[in-house]
Amino acid sequence: MKLAVDMSAVQGKFPSGVERSFHLTLKALENLLGEDQVQRIPRVSAVPSFLWRREILPGRLDRMKPLLFLSPVTALPPRSPCPMVATVHEIPEIRPEAKEAPLRLFRNRRARRKLLQRAWRVLVPSEHTKRSLLCELPGLAERVRVFPQPIHPRFQQEKGLKRPRTERKGIVFVGVPRRRKNLARLLTAWSDLPLSLRERHPFHFVGPESLGKFLKAQQPSAIQFHKELNTEQFIALLDRSLGLVLPSLSEGFGLPAFEAAARGIPCLCSQDSPMTEWLGNLPLAVDPYDSESIAKGLLRLLEDCDLWESVSREGPKRARYFSPERSAGAWLSLIHEAAAL
């Protein structure tokens, strides 16, 4: 067996963009190597995650003796019979107002500090995350590798891709109600748009039940909540919308922006973000700390025909780069590197 993978952190009921990309890459790697060469290690549900990694996972690895161990998150077991690879998606606390809850913040920082002793390689999805990580832990400089996340091949399908702009209405947000998602400013910006425009163009919010509860408490006008859409349903929603909205204070990659590009619709995102890093001038970049800047961006999504034409032409072309096969090839390069040790 060449690779063992800790699946304990990628089994959520509402998969995040990180989880969706991880599963796509893993499946593509199994297609390259053969499923017998990749061992998925699920966590026993009754065991807390910290106990699983500290006490049980090391024993599993001792028995398996893989060539390489990969974690989809920052946390690694204290020991392993093979080199270990961790994944750091983002470090939101370096951005003003983007800090996570105190317990989550403490756990993330502790896990990152332990990378100096435990990680052979550290995967990050963007140069943006790499810079943040090395500011905190410069000793990891030689171990960090930047690998972009893939999007599902279904986002490249032709069906619905050429729907005219005149047959579309509204905009879309997808995510969870965490502080870094900047929902308060986004809703303020939305409420600042003319009422006639909001009534004509619904704002679709896609996410878990916690997002629906957040929106109900805020009571914004002209919004529609969609709970846990599958891939085909989400594509159908994008194909009848004018744009995607992701003005986050912090993102490690921002997968929905790349999915929107693949469907040929503009995405409003934050300036100096991984989305602008990978997609260049394709996204509509705004100041995430300025609700007026966000409102102007929303207005352009709804009314700027030139922006639409540019993205509908160039977006699908650029999105082809972010394939599961390319990401699996990057993982495979790590396996070859470990084999040469």
- According to the model, what pLDDT value does residue 62 have? 94
CA dist., res. 271 & res. 286, Å (int)? 5
Helix (H) / strand (E) element for 38: namely strand 38-41
* Percent of residues in the chain assigned helix, strand, coil, to nearest 5: 50, 15, 35
What mean pLDDT is predicted for residues 228-255?
94
- Provide the pLDDT confidence category of residue 13 given band limits of 50, 70 and 90: low
Let me know whether 21 and 135 are in one domain: yes
Let me know whether 266 and 327 are in one domain: no
What mean pLDDT is predicted for residues 212-228?
87
pTM: 0.93
- DSSP letters for 58-113: HHHHHHH--SEEE-SSS---S--SS-EEEE----GGGSTT----HHHHHHHHHHHH
Helix (H) / strand (E) element for 274: namely helix 274-279
Q: Which of 103-117, 184-198, 238-252 has the lowest mean pLDDT?
A: 103-117
| Statement: residue 65 has pLDDT above 70 | yes
| Statement: residue 14 has pLDDT above 70 | no
Distances (CA, A) of 70 to 120, 169, 339: 10, 42, 14
Query: What angle is formed at CA 123 by the lines to CA 338 and CA 20, rounded to 5 degrees?
Result: 115
Total tally of structural domains belonging to the chain: 2
- Provide the pLDDT confidence category of residue 12 given band limits of 50, 70 and 90: low
What CATH number did the domain enclosing 270 receive? 3.40.50.2000
pLDDT, one tens digit per residue, over 122-175 is: 999 999 999 999 999 999 999 999 999 999 999 998 888 888 999 999 999 999
- Provide the pLDDT confidence category of residue 6 given band limits of 50, 70 and 90: very high
245 bridge partner residues: 268
- DSSP letters for 231-267: HHHHHHHHTT-SEEEE--S--SS-HHHHHHHHTT--E
Let me know whether 12 and 110 are in one domain: yes
What mean pLDDT is predicted for residues 63-91?
95
Let me know whether 145 and 157 are in one domain: no
Let me know whether 59 and 161 are in one domain: no
E-strand ranges in 83-240 read 84-87, 121-124, 144-146, 171-174, 203-207, 223-227
CA dist., res. 172 & res. 238, Å (int)? 7
CA dist., res. 50 & res. 54, Å (int)? 6
- According to the model, what pLDDT value does residue 341 have? 85
| Statement: residue 197 has pLDDT above 70 | yes
Let me know whether 310 and 331 are in one domain: no
- According to the model, what pLDDT value does residue 16 have? 79
CB 129 within 8 A of CB 274: yes
Distances (CA, A) of 274 to 97, 169, 177, 246: 18, 27, 20, 12
pLDDT, one tens digit per residue, over 290-316 is: 999 999 999 999 999 999 999 999 999
- DSSP letters for 279-314: HTTSSEEE-TT-HHHHHHHHHHHHH-HHHHHHHHHH
More confident call, 116 vs 20: 116
Let me know whether 52 and 168 are in one domain: no
Q: In terms of Cα–Cα distance, which of 318, 312, 261, 271 is closest to 294?
A: 271
CA dist., res. 128 & res. 89, Å (int)? 10
Let me know whether 224 and 238 are in one domain: yes
Let me know whether 69 and 176 are in one domain: no
pLDDT, one tens digit per residue, over 274-284 is: 999 999 989 99
| Statement: residue 9 has pLDDT above 90 | no
Q: Which domain holds residue 99?
A: 3-150+323-339
Let me know whether 219 and 265 are in one domain: yes
| Statement: residue 203 has pLDDT above 90 | yes
Let me know whether 315 and 332 are in one domain: no
- According to the model, what pLDDT value does residue 181 have? 94
84 bridge partner residues: 69
Let me know whether 141 and 179 are in one domain: no
Q: Which of 95-109, 187-201, 313-327 has the lowest mean pLDDT?
A: 95-109
- Provide the pLDDT confidence category of residue 24 given band limits of 50, 70 and 90: very high
185 burial level (CB within 10 Å; 0-12, 13-18, 19+)? buried
Q: Which of 85-89, 156-160, 204-208, 330-334 has the lowest mean pLDDT?
A: 156-160
Q: Average pLDDT, whole number, for the chain? A: 92
